[in-house]
Chains A and B, each alone.
Chain A
Amino acid sequence: MKLQQLSLFLENRPGQLGAPLEAIAAEGINILTLSLADTAQFGILRLIVREWEQAKQIFEQGGWVVKQTEVVAVDVLDRPGGLASALAVLEAAELNIEYMYAFSLRRDDKAILIFRFEDPDRAIEVLLENGLHVVETEELMRHVG
């Protein structure tokens, strides 16, 4: 039920973001979603791709520092309060979110929330118990594709 996310270390200067994205694009790898956390000096690019093992290898060969982590995707209705309802569940269970990002799927009128938890298995349990829908990789591919 967990998704594999790849994180890359990038220096925060012009052109640094393009190179790794081009490297996987050249191999026909499509990005499902990404987020970028940055300081004035460096950034962490996080992305989700279907062929994450291949992408990881491409990044490593290209000399990037890359880390694979498990994240959890939840879909909610793309309307006001959609995110808040999911967060309320997590808060009630005292689950700490390390970080999150979101994107919307206009076609399905849904929003996908990507969560990084310290303990993803426990988080999934809580989400399911509370009737939330945890999205798996293949399902996410269908949503996006």
Chain B
Amino acid sequence: MSNQDPDWPSENRIWNHSAETLPREEIEALQLERLRAMVERVAKVPFYRDQFEHAEIGPQSIRSLADLRRLPFTTKDDLRRHQPLGFLAVPRKELARIHGSSGTTGIPTFVAYTAQDLRTWSELCARFLVAGGLRPAHTAQVAFGYGLFTGGFGLHYGIERVGAAVIPTAAGNTRRQIDIMRELTPEVLICTPSYALTIADAARELGIDPATLPMRYGHFGGEPWTEDMRREIEDQLGLQAFNNYGLSEVFGPGVAGECPLHEGMHIQEDHFIVECLDPETLEPVAEGEPGELVITNLTREATPLIRYRTRDIARLYREPCACGRTTMRMSRVTGRTDDMLIIRGVNVFPSQIEEALLRVEGTTPHYLIEVDRPGTLDEVRVKVEMRPEIFSDRMDRMQALCEHISREIQTVAGIRAHVDLVEPRSIERFVGKARRVLDKRRLSD
């Protein structure tokens, strides 16, 4: 059971010892049992029921974990086609929470939670928070967005579950964040990695050495980052930085998180089965090789997913960690199999930018999305080639055009973008599929 001992001496503390240190065969036996139950549960969801019937699959078809591969995949498109809440496996009245993730159409993909799901989610977050230094006596500042985005609330409840205090500052108003840190001296900071660097920059601008800020541990996620960024954050803020992984489709943060050894993120295998597949052949890759993570929920009640194709590229390691946890570990996410961009924590698809441009007549045929991180924050420039239909000799009209495009992008994709009007034929032409994105951020290690 959970460790409620108020005085936790060890640096390497395990929140749920029995779950996190299960011998391999017991983890697998538990997964098999839960997978069978899950197959039965999702058979109520029309999407799965139809596929199970067609393939004549039922709980009895799952005789070993290898039979997982007989089950169908679930994609983001499947989720989108069945919005809102087409994947609900419980009656609507049993829901306790609905979150959402950004989708290509500007309408979020909704995910739901029962009261039990919220307890499970808190447990998952508690595990990686404790692995990363959080103790009941601590105070943690959550500078993640609160709202439909799962980051803020997931971590918030995890901290409360551990018994620590939360300061729910949410993201933004960096100067105020710094004032609060100095007043309330939280031991733990929770935000996106790029926001951690923004806080450091802002502190320096205020004449404060960011290393003198009180936080000793930081939990960072919600966007891809690198080992270089980890070193920078740790050096500048004088804390130990922990990576965690999750996505709202399968719960939110809490799928995996680092221990103090920082040798990969421990996957919560009693709640998820994570496969690593070649995105083309859909066959498993060799251990330690990069592949697409495919995640199956084992315990989620409201909107459980079977073999959800995350499109995230990472590596898996089965060798037990020296920390004592027996769970499989995953590397940080090193890429995507689709063209999704994560801009300041917001998921953006190039097709959303295209949709925004379609709303402004004459701007679509030739454009390029440039993403860069000149300082600590992502910047997006959308280059649009000038055409006679949209050209005016009046500067006010031209500026209004830029603003109009920018506004549409904000509406559809939820991000601010600079719009650059460029000369005709200045954007490179491609035979076949045009390259629409130039990501200049250096994110791969």
Contacts and interface: CB of A to CB of B under 8 A. Distances in A.
B424 A39 contact: no
A39 B426 CA distance: 18
A142 to B, nearest CB: 26
B388 interface: yes
Given A9-B386, A42-B398, A64 B424 contact: yes
Question: Dominant SS at the A interface?
Answer: strand
Interface in A76-120: 98-99, 116
Contact of B391 (A9, A41, A116): A9
Contact of A44 (B395, B420, B423): B395
Range of interface residues on A (Cβ < 8 Å): 20 to 34
B208 interface: no
Contacts of A67: 388, 391-393
B392 A11 contact: no
B372 to A, nearest CB: 15
Contact of B393 (A5, A41, A63): A5
Interface residues of B, number: 18
B395 A37 contact: yes
B395 A39 contact: yes
Interface in B399-430: 399, 420-426
B424 A65 contact: yes
A44 B394 CA distance: 8
Nearest to B418: A41
Contacts of B420: 41-42
Given A9-B421, A11-B422, A39-B399, A65 B386 contact: yes
Contacts of B395: 37, 39, 44, 99
Contacts of A98: 394, 396
Contacts of A9: 386, 391, 421, 423
Contacts of B394: 44, 98-99, 116
B80 interface: no
Nearest to B395: A37
B421 A41 contact: yes
Interface of B: 386-388, 391-396, 398-399, 420-426
12 contacts: A39-B398, A44-B393, A44-B398, A46-B393, A63-B424, A65-B387, A67-B388, A67-B392, A69-B393, A98-B396, A99-B395, A116-B394
Given A44-B393, A63-B424, 15 more contacts: A7-B393, A9-B421, A37-B395, A41-B420, A63-B423, A63-B425, A64-B424, A65-B391, A65-B423, A66-B388, A69-B393, A98-B394, A99-B394, A99-B395, A116-B393
